[in-house]
Structures are given as C-alpha cells and as structure tokens.
Amino acid sequence: DQQVKQNSPSLSVQEGRISILNCDYTNSMFDYFLWYKKYPAEGPTFLISISSIKDKNEDGRFTVFLNKSAKHLSLHIVPSQPGDSAVYFCAASGIQGAQKLVFGQGTRLTINP
C-alpha cells in the first residue's frame, strides 16, 4: 500500500525553464508535506515543506503547491539550473505517527543545457 506516489520516474527540462514535479497521496490524515533533493551516493537534503493549512509555500526558486481536495502536491523550480539535476522525493507525515515520514519513490530530474 503505497501512500505517497510519484508517478513520473524521470523528467527532463531545458535549463531556464520551469520544472514541475508531482506527488499524490492517499492518506487523508497526512497534514505536513516535504520535498527532498538527493544526489547520487549522498543523503537527501531537505528543500521545502508545507503544512496542510496552506496551499502554497515559496522559498527562492522553489515553490510547493498543495491541493488537499485532490490529495496532490507539486514542486515548481523556476528557473531550472543544471545543479538542480537530482532525484527528488516527496514525503508526508501526520498527527498519527508524527515521528515518521512516508516517502514517494522519487523522480529523477535532468536539466539540459
């Protein structure tokens, strides 16, 4: 039972354009969502998060949108840069099991020059 899904295993975007990474979840008890970035052979790095009381959170080039009715969140990166090439994981947590994060399978983003 995969509670957090990233249906696109890979995404290719031209440098300077917008990258949009998507994530869907099934558990309505989730109330906090996070995005992580991971380079090969390194640990994931926390990027940005959003609480369910908001529908948008912005930090520099990164914006996360949350659509609770659709149980969908997305990460927008604009403009995309070559250093953004990495695997991106979305994660979710909630009041139940607040200590744990449930991760999606990841999307490999490649930024082409």
Partner 1 sequence: SQTIHQWPATLVQPVGSPLSLECTVEGTSNPNLYWYRQAAGRGLQLLFYSVGIGQISSEVPQNLSASRPQDRQFILSSKKLLLSDSGFYLCAWRASGRNYEQYFGPGTRLTVT
**40 CB neighbour count, 10 Å cutoff:** 6
Q: Which positions from 10 to 39 touch partner 1 by CB under 8 A, shown as an x/- string?
A: ----------------------x-x-x---
Distances (CA, A) of 109 to 12, 19, 24, 35, 69: 6, 8, 17, 13, 27
Query: Which of 42, 53, 70, 83 touches partner 1 (CB under 8 A)?
Result: 42
3-state secondary structure of 113: coil
62 in contact with partner 1 (CB under 8 A)? no
43 in contact with partner 1 (CB under 8 A)? yes
Nearest alpha-carbon partner for 28 in 66, 69, 64: 69
53 in contact with partner 1 (CB under 8 A)? no
Query: Which of 8, 22, 27, 49 touches partner 1 (CB under 8 A)?
Result: 49
CA–CA gap between residue 29 and residue 95 (Å, rounded): 7
Residues forming contacts to partner 1 in the complex (CB under 8 A) are: 32, 34, 36, 41-46, 49, 89, 93, 98-101, 103-106
